[in-house]
Amino acid sequence: MNVESITFSRRPARRFWGWGAADAVLDDGERATVKSMVEQLGGRYAALAPPAVAEFELRAPRVAPPASLAAMFSKTPLDRLNHAYGKSYADCARMWLRRLHNPPDWVAFPDDEPAVVDILDWAACSNVAVIPFGGGTSVCGGVEPTVGDGFAGVISLNMERLGRVLEIDPLSRAARIQAGAFGPEIESQLRPHGLTLRHFPQSFEFSTLGGWIATRASGHYATQYTHIDDFVEATRMVTPSGVLQTRRLPASGAGPAPDRLVLGSEGTLGVITEAWMRLQDKPRFRASASIRFADYFTAARCVRALAQSGLNPTNCRLLDPMETVFSGIGDGRCAVLVLGFESADHPLQAWMERSLELVLDHGGEYDAAAVARSMESEGSKEHRRGAAGAWRKAFIRMPYWRDPAVGLGLIMDTFESAITWDRFESFYQSVKLEVQTAIQRMTGQESIISCRITHAYPDGVAPYFTIAVLGSPSGDVASALAAWREIKLAANAAVVGQAGTVTHHHAVGRDHRSGHELEMPGLFRQMLAAAKAVVDPTGILNPGALYDARSRSIGKCGVLCEHSEK
Ligand SMILES: Cc1cc2nc3c(=O)[nH]c(=O)nc-3n(C[C@H](O)[C@H](O)[C@H](O)COP(=O)(O)OP(=O)(O)OC[C@H]3O[C@@H](n4cnc5c(N)ncnc54)[C@H](O)[C@@H]3O)c2cc1C
């Protein structure tokens, strides 16, 4: 079935210096939350004027696109600023400092796949580095045009004009979707067919299918189908050496799978232009519960029991006491488990009832009437109310709170990992201690570190840490940023040193490379280098992300992008 052609207006303007929509504002309650957070951490609250485009001095573009492609290229200051950084703490801090060392020379907006081919051809012949760009929501330096000085120039390749669902196969329940489609665009084009991709990362509104595939993103469902990996049926990627198109198959045992190399390639092997994605029917039944536990590790054991039960809750998010305060659903005295089920096919009483037996075995407490209401009827909206609803609202709005706090000198950052159950408790304690010690050493301040379990597996768990601290006694942003670099390296070393992974879903980019190099077998890094040499022989694609593009040995870096700015 061919889907009717849809014309998109240009996307709503994004805020170049922080998270989300350019016209987003905090409401009074949110402003009060930010104020109290800044003051509790020893800072001084003030309303700051956000960075303006005119405050940035951008170097003149060092290269010019050929006349045949020029209509797809922009060098407006706003476009270049929008593509200068991703959306991490460090990106936001550098915007507050009005510090911009490596803007892209140009931003290309290809109209279609042949245009992507032409742009890569020109770039490879002209020694111009290319940064594939989806929504630019990377939080690990994935889209930053910091490529070293071996290139004539650098461009960002923005995929937003490739935003359509091209084809739907209702029998196999799959769709061919262009890589530049943002989350809401995908869902709005699938909705009339009663289908959903059901991939909801926190950044859903502003990130794209291509970005999700390139970073191996995970959605906010806690178990089973949550990684984009599970939804990919086939991919199509333009590389400087040709187009790689994989075959649509439900499964295959034909040797190493090519899609597995495309997934997580972080723009270093090619530009993903489209993918066949597995879909699901829209859920009709939901059940949810919010459960309090006096002790965090007992609650974690309950999560393990649930993850190993085969019940596969869609939500099974465990907030430690401090995280309940951040989310506005607790007072810091107990841990809260947000539990949920959904199905397009069947009511969920039996699943929820068995889960609550496991909860009671572990001493959890809940409001039975609220749980019953959540299961009352098809289409119940109970999961949007109570603690689960409050958590959901905070989950979506929290990135907006961070921006002003960063401008006032706070370091607010997150890092996430995954670890097997046998090591979880010591991992949690050791990582917290090591990072807290690094924060104290670098800032001299007391910090807050909270943790939530975002994803649960039968053999382990994904802990997601949030840190908040005043970056220096004076509260200035430059000192905070300098401290953050050391804290980030310490966090990378801590999670890998404690046998975890440097990232469960945020990807490697430039900022997690020091951990990735510790974690990955050297031989595998050489295999990656060999693959890169085949598809990108001149090393123009996203140099510096994931590994050093032009060093065939994929050597050590041990630095974050800020160190290597030129
Ligand atoms: C507030 C916030 C919440 C977040 N929540 C989540 C979450 O819940 N789950 C999660 O997994 N991540 C999350 N992230 C991280 C980020 O949203 C993901 O990494 C996302 O997958 C990036 O998608 P994007 O389209 O914005 O890609 P970009 O940021 O534009 O790019 C990310 C990487 O992918 C490459 N890339 C992008 N498009 C293509 C393409 N078409 N072909 C080849 N390479 C490409 C880029 O070169 C870069 O290396 C969050 C980030 C923020 C700021």
92 lies in some domain: no
Whether residue 472 is contained in a domain is answered as yes
Residues in the chain: 566
Question: How deeply is 219 buried, as exposed, middle or buried, from its count of CB atoms within 10 A (0-12, 13-18, 19+)?
Answer: buried
Please indicate, yes or no, whether residues 446 and 493 belong to a single structural domain of this protein: yes
- Ligand 1 pocket test: pick from 138, 208, 213, 235 the residue with the most ligand atoms within 8 Å of its Cβ: 138
Does residue 483 lie in a domain region? yes
The verdict on 182 and 264 lying in the same domain is yes
Residue after which a domain boundary falls, among 497, 515, 533: 515
Structural domain including 482 reads: 397-515
334 and 297 fall within a common domain: yes
201 lines ligand 1 (CB under 6 A): yes
Q: Specify the residue with its C-alpha closest to ligand 1, atom 44.
A: 267
Burial of 336 (0-12, 13-18, 19+ CB in 10 A): buried
Best residue for ligand 1 mutational test, from 91, 137, 213 (most atoms within 8 Å of Cβ): 137
Whether 427 contacts 494, CB under 8 Å: no
Do 342 and 250 lie in a common domain?
no
The verdict on 411 and 489 lying in the same domain is: yes
Q: What is the CATH number of the domain that holds 276?
A: 3.30.465.10
Whether 203 lines ligand 1, by a CB cut-off of 6 Å, is yes
Task: For ligand 1, atom 28, name the residue with the nearest CA.
Answer: 136
- Choose the residue to mutate in 11, 159, 202, 416 for probing ligand 1, maximizing ligand atoms within 8 Å of C-beta: 202
Q: Which of 281, 315, 343 is the last residue of a domain?
A: 281
Atom of ligand 1 nearest to the CA of 131: 47
The domain boundary residue, chosen from 281, 314, 344: 281
* Residue 235 lies inside a defined structural domain of this protein: yes
Atom of ligand 1 nearest to the CA of 209: 25
Q: How far is the CA of 140 from the centre of ligand 1 (A)?
A: 9
Helix (H) or strand (E) holding 163: none
Note whether 450 and 469 are same-domain residues. yes
Ligand 1 center from residue 207 Cα (angstroms):
6
Is 136 touching ligand 1 by the criterion CB < 6 Å?
yes
212 and 321 inside one domain: no
* Ligand 1 atom index nearest CA of 228: 11
Q: Is the Cβ atom of 226 under 6 angstroms away from ligand 1?
A: no
CA distance to 323, 384, 476, per residue, from 42 (Å): 19, 34, 12
Q: Is the CB of 142 under 6 A from ligand 1?
A: yes
Cβ–ligand 1 distance for 275 under 6 Å, the answer no
Q: Which atom of ligand 1 is nearest to the CA of 213?
A: 21
pLDDT for the residue numbered 376: 65
Looking at the CA of residue 545, tell me the nearest atom of ligand 1: 49
* Same domain for 508 and 450: yes
Do 255 and 171 share a domain, yes or no?
yes
3-state secondary structure of 73: strand
Say whether both 173 and 273 belong to one domain. Answer: yes
Q: Which atom of ligand 1 is nearest to the CA of 270?
A: 43
The whole model's pTM is what?
0.95
Q: What is the CATH number for 488?
A: 3.30.300.330
Q: How far apart are the C-alpha atoms of 81 and 231, rounded to whole Å?
A: 33
> CB neighbours of 110 closer than 8 A, spacing ≥ 6?
72, 116, 119, 157, 159, 161, 162
What is the predicted pLDDT for the residue at 550? 57
- What's the domain count of the chain? 3
Residue nearest to atom 11 of ligand 1 (CA): 217
Residue 24 belongs to some domain of the structure: no
How far is Cα 306 from Cα 235, in angstroms, rounded to an integer? 34
Residue 539 placed within a domain: no
Mean pLDDT, consecutive 10-residue stretches, the chain (566 aa), reads: 45 88 90 92 94 96 97 95 97 95 95 98 98 97 94 97 97 98 96 96 96 96 88 98 98 96 98 98 93 97 98 95 86 93 93 97 95 76 69 82 95 97 98 97 94 96 97 94 97 98 97 95 93 96 84 41 39
Per-residue confidence (pLDDT) for residue 396, from 0 to 100: 83
Mutate to test the pocket of ligand 1, among 186, 207, 243 (most ligand atoms within 8 A of CB): 207
Say if residue 292 is in the same domain as residue 188: no
* 403 and 350 both lie in a single domain: no
Q: How many whole angstroms from 507 Cα to the centroid of ligand 1?
A: 8
DSSP letter for each residue of 79-94 = HHHHTT--SSHHHHHH
- Residue 305, domain CATH: 3.30.70.3450
Q: Is 59 a member of any domain?
A: no
Six-digit token pair at 428? Answer: 């949690």
Contact 443 CB / ligand 1 (< 6 Å): no
Contacts of 505 (CB under 8 A, 6+ apart): 201, 215, 216, 217, 218, 227, 416, 462
CA of 183 to the centre of ligand 1 (A): 11
469 within domain boundaries: yes
Alpha carbon of 247 to those of 217, 236, 251, 268: distances in Å? Answer: 22, 9, 10, 22
Atom of ligand 1 nearest to the CA of 201: 8
145 lines ligand 1 (CB under 6 A): no
| Cα–ligand 1 centroid distance for 496 (angstroms) | 22
